Amino acid sequence: MRLEVLPDNPVIESVDGRAARELPPGAVVEVRRSRYDALLVRIGKANFYRLVRSKFRLADPPATDTT
């Protein structure tokens, strides 16, 4: 499967939840089947630290009381 970045639709390539680079309009990404499942596309922004806590099943930090 080939995916092409369209004009006016910026795409950010990320690796392990961290932004790696912006793909310019016209860039083509080729996706091939693997024997392992993977999340390849995420719509919207992701919080790197939340992703790490989720992957390693870590507790969220306690809320800070600002009153």
pLDDT digits (tens, 9 = 90+) for 17-29: 778 899 999 999 8
pLDDT of residue 19: 82
pLDDT of residue 43: 67
Does 8 have pLDDT greater than 80?
Answer: yes
**pTM (2 d.p.):** 0.46
CA distances from 55 to 7, 48, 58 (A): 33, 11, 8
Q: Return the structure tokens found at 11.
A: 């795409």
> Which residues make Cβ contacts (< 8 Å) with residue 21, sequence separation at least 6?
12, 13
pLDDT of residue 66: 65
pLDDT of residue 45: 74
pLDDT of residue 27: 93
